[in-house]
Amino acid sequence: MNTQNRRLRRSLVTGCAAICLLVLAALPAIPSSQQMFNKWMMLSLILEKIERFYIEEKNPEQLLDAALRGILTELDQHSVYLNSDEYSTWKRRYQHQSGIGIKYNRSNGLLTVISLMENGPAARAGVQLGDQITHIKSRSVSSLDNLSIQNLLSQSADTTILLTIERRQSGQVKNIRVPVEPLQPNSIAAAGMLNKETGYIKLLYFHAGTPAELDQAIQSLNQSQMSQLILDLRDNQGGELDAGIEVANRFLPGSRLIAYTKGRSIQANKRYVSTASRSLIPNLPLIVLVNEQTASDAEIVAGAIQDWDRGLIAGQNTFGKALVQTEYPMQDGSALLLTTARFYTPLGRSIQRSDSEQNALTFKTPKGRVLQGAGGIAPDLMLSQSKTALPDNFYQHLQNEGRFWQVADDYVNRHPQLLLLALSNASTFQVPDSLVNAVANRLLAGQRSAKSTEVLQRQIIKQALTIEMAGRIWGDQGRYLLMAFQDTWVQKAIANFQQARQLLSNF
């Protein structure tokens, strides 16, 4: 290590000691202040010994980061320290990103467009589902790694990106210039009618635009004469708190408590109350689907609906994450995400799974239904988790590799008339048995299975192909609606709407 670097490292260690003294000076006078001082000095001495004598050279800055993370492990799993790079990545999850509005599969040296953001830049420029991108800004896709492709498509400094695409249906090769714009992907993946009565909304996560998306979806379903609604919050792990509160607001009359928070500081204690002016959804029967990956804001929505007897919760126990993280940015670009409060449902239930104090408590809704305390939201209607008959790793591998999509893409390219089908045909759409059998025979070749297992395996392959075919024809909207049509949980929810309807009496 050269002399200059050694001086810099020792300066960092010395600086650590100085920071310790400054921190101690800012601490209130407490009996243990001398012990605190001793511990801080010990930390700086340990860092100095590591820097001078450890068998391998270590970066003191990285050691300090590790020390900070170690402190936070004594708190809870959601209180974390993020260095500047990690903090930038974390913020990007909740901020508008620039891009062109496509999803793609990569195979055989090409990018196949498998999803287009509705009215997004690529869709407006003329890119279509199934188009194969061969070049980005005149650079061959086959020569680019995945990170380079992502950067070119989402972080370009240019205002437009030139794509060269091959359109398999016609054999055309086109150059399409696509504008790069700030994007916020839709949080509602699908909104449609499952039958003449039942509306369905799949909500993936919450961001600032979610309430407006929900309003638009509800208005569309109302025009289709919806008389009952399934709100699917499975695998929804939250997002922006205000958006979650506004979603719950849509389902409740005015002046109803949606949730409240409690913490040590006055600022951490807040109450969130519904406003009648924002309640745009009539008192139609409501069933909310949840599972073990439903968390945070999604649990707040489900908890408010359950506590007020507004709707029926169906599925499995939710994740149990209802802690408030406050963001404290630092001058060096890093940040502390610190748990500062707990969320509670209107009845006072703590959703947090680790809140053992509430495990033995029960609560009563206005209509006398008994609900449990901590441990997530327990559904009113418990549904068993369905399993695929194919080995999980094998089935997931096929999905990750885009194998079912490739079959669907090839079939649609050979039958372009399918692209003329309206989305209203999705409920009755089926993949031909001849195609299913050809794919199943190839995938299951060499496997030894009982006859009943093989039948189920072929049925699952058919479902997967049907879903991907719908995605190829109608995009994500069709894909998610087909999944809903084939979903046993959705079918069981539809069969239990009488129970949901009874909750609305005198609501």
Report the chain (507 residues): mean pLDDT per 10 consecutive residues.
Answer: 50 48 47 69 81 82 81 82 82 70 82 84 89 90 85 73 85 89 86 95 93 94 94 93 93 93 90 77 89 94 96 94 86 88 92 70 90 85 72 60 82 90 87 89 73 78 90 90 92 95 82
In a domain, 506, yes or no: no
**Same domain for 345 and 199:** yes
Dist. CA 89–CA 439, nearest whole Å:
40
Residues β-bridged to residue 133 = 111, 165
The amino acid occupying position 92 is: R
In a domain, 113, yes or no: yes
Which of 43, 74, 105 marks a domain boundary?
74
**Same domain for 253 and 373:** yes
Specify the number of domains making up the chain. Answer: 4
**Same domain for 225 and 193:** yes
Dist. CA 192–CA 258, nearest whole Å:
27
Q: Give the pair of three-digit tokens for residue 319.
A: 């994740």
**Same domain for 285 and 201:** yes
Which of 148, 183, 218 marks a domain boundary?
183
**Same domain for 201 and 149:** no
- Bridging pattern class, strands 139-140 and 312-315: unpaired
In a domain, 84, yes or no: no
What is the DSSP track for 260-323? EEE-SSGGG-EEEE--GGG--S-S--EEEEE-TT--THHHHHHHHHHHTT-SEEEES------E
**Same domain for 427 and 379:** no
Domain that holds residue 250: 188-331+338-385
Q: Give the pair of three-digit tokens for residue 81.
A: 């320290």
Q: Give the pair of three-digit tokens for residue 151.
A: 């950067």
CATH of the domain at 278: 3.90.226.10
In a domain, 219, yes or no: yes
In a domain, 26, yes or no: yes
pLDDT for 18 equals 46
In a domain, 271, yes or no: yes
**Same domain for 297 and 194:** yes
State which H helix or E strand residue 165 sits in. Answer: strand 160-167
Q: Give the pair of three-digit tokens for residue 327.
A: 């963001």
**Same domain for 318 and 211:** yes
DSSP annotation of 506 reads T
According to the 3-state scheme, what is the secondary structure of 387-400?
CCCCCHHHHHHHHH
Q: Give the pair of three-digit tokens for residue 205.
A: 């996560």
Q: Give the pair of three-digit tokens for residue 291.
A: 């599972």
**Same domain for 402 and 366:** no
**Same domain for 417 and 487:** yes
CATH of the domain at 104: 2.30.42.10
pLDDT for 89 equals 73
In a domain, 212, yes or no: yes
**Same domain for 407 and 265:** no
Dist. CA 201–CA 97, nearest whole Å:
25
Residues β-bridged to residue 286 = 229
Would you say the C-alpha torsion 53, 56, 61, 65 has a positive or negative sign? negative
**Same domain for 368 and 424:** no
In a domain, 498, yes or no: no
Whether 137 and 175 have beta carbons less than 8 Å apart is answered as no
Backbone angles phi, psi at 182, to 5 degrees: -65, 135
Which of 126, 157, 183 marks a domain boundary?
183
Dist. CA 226–CA 284, nearest whole Å:
9
Classify residue 407 as exposed, middle or buried by CB count within 10 Å of its CB (0-12, 13-18, 19+): buried
Number of helices followed by number of strands (H, E) in the chain? 15, 21
